[in-house]
Structure 1
Amino acid sequence: MAGVLDSVNQRTQLVGQNRLELLLFRLDSPQLYGINVFKVKEVLQCPKLTIMPKSSPVVRGVANIRGGTIPILDLSMATGRAGLSDLKNSFVIITEYNSKIQGFLVRSVERIINMNWEEIHPPPKGTGRDHYLTAVTRVDNQLVEIIDVEKILAEVAPTSEVISEGVIDVDTQAKAVSKKVLICDDSSVARKQVIRCLETVGVEVIALNDGRQAYDYLMQMAAQGKQVDEELLMLISDIEMPEMDGYTLTAEIRSDPRLQKMHIILHTSLSGVFNQAMVKKVGADDFLAKFRPDELAARVVDRIKAVEAS
């Protein structure tokens, strides 16, 4: 337990500093790709795969790893290319997204680098494959592409977006019409999921692509003399975003007297013990794992009721 706590303490030193660690890897080309180390549980040589009938072609099979059965997705095939052929000499990156474990099949794994989110940028327009990218950066003068894993997972195993009956009551829905919620997420799929969920609740949604855009939007409101926490019901922010991550966005908001009363929910596919420590350190009001429409809708409903009762 002491080791875990030490690790948490070390990682939380980066909170508010807008930093991340990327694991670099390659598919069947010289192109470099990156994945946030927080998502990675381990990397191993591709194990023996058992083919699953009727599964998506992207799922090359399942592997028995540490006593658990884990689906292995071919990242090359998932992004519209030919699947990797030489499985014996390939690697699997075991990851956790949205509290689910899966492996990503890649050709090779390079190294881990420490970067600042300000060095991570939205993908350029018209790159041809930008619909599978959330961001790009440069390492040693080489372009690194960061894949929209949430889009891939949504295509391979779609998540239900239906809100259960009884989560939203008629009275709250009527009051929601006058409320605005600001959201920011660099994944187009995640943004659409959140927008549809909140529109079902009844609120007006302002959707932005990253933490920098959200911060600039809030600063502009404050500069115009608006009472931001009264104009906006809440902010729902992803954590991993180019330019400015959700932790830094929250810390910046809390440090500005004009913004610090904002109700903030960090909504992320990141899992694990680190999040609770980080959320507490930066001062967010709540943390919610993606994508759970009932829980997200319930948080917004609770916030509406709290504001109406105050």
Structure 2
Amino acid sequence: MKIYDELVARGLIAQVTDEEKIKDIINSGNATFYIGFDPTADSLHVGHFMALCLMKRLQMAGNKPVVLLGGGTGYIGDPSGRTDLRSMMSPETIQHNCACFKKQMEKFIEFGENKAIMVNNADWLLELNYIELLRDMGACFPVNNMLRAECYKQRLEKGLSFLEFNYMVMQSYDYYYLYQNYGCNMQFGGDDQWSNMLGGTELIRRKLGKDAYAMTITLLKNSEGNKMGKTAKGAVWLDPNKTTPFEFYQYWRNIGEADVLKCIRMLTFLPLEQIDAMDQWEGSQLNEAKEVLAYELTKLVHDEEKAQKAKTVYEVGSVRE
């Protein structure tokens, strides 16, 4: 099975700009693609993990990942999916968070010559001249189109600041810059990023007369339509000092029965044939499926030894109860 068909079978693809072209590019290993990560905290969380898994799958199929750290866009804050303004971070905090992200990402993505690369948009965004940017790029962003963008709609009722309104321009400029300097021909991201990503493909078309592509991945939601990856304590982090391997294991072991097979399909690297067979499981077998999910993800994020230890602790605790 080709990589695009596998992504479809795993339920990962939400929207694409040109399905046939994207399918051909990534199946042939000719994509130089990027995903952006704004450093909003000092650790990656479960939402980032899904994006890293996509990167890993595409890299294994011969495509070249470009990890974009948002050291520049982090100064503004992405309004997508937000009902309020993000807290402003100091330059020192942004740099620290970027360093934390970099260290964690190296566990998932293979960096090196002719492999993945990591760049930071602070290197070009912080040097931009405001007047020059307005003259060069402003005409490429019709305000009517921007106001219709899903990422802004829910904020218009409560108030959208001009600061956040610029985020689409910054993200679009990233794609334009990466296209010119790194040969990036594709951008991937969460489905809530669709409008921003279209801004990038349109900017490249208008300024360079070239085609660039975008694909969004399905947001990780439970059967009730709420984003997964949060507990009563807050986000489920990849940093073991913020969410211990046991807490991480426990989160996935306790997810709803309606969500377990979807998560196994989307997040693990188990063969699809094995997962398809699990589709027939019911009753007590779904508890076994939860164990598989929790173990596989804890092994990916931490390591096999910690996954086994978390499983043992959980089982002992369950017996005592």
- TM-score after normalising by structure 1: 0.24
Of Structure 1 and Structure 2, which has the larger fraction of its residues in strand? 1
Which structure has more RCO (C-alpha within 8 Å, separation ≥ 6)? 2
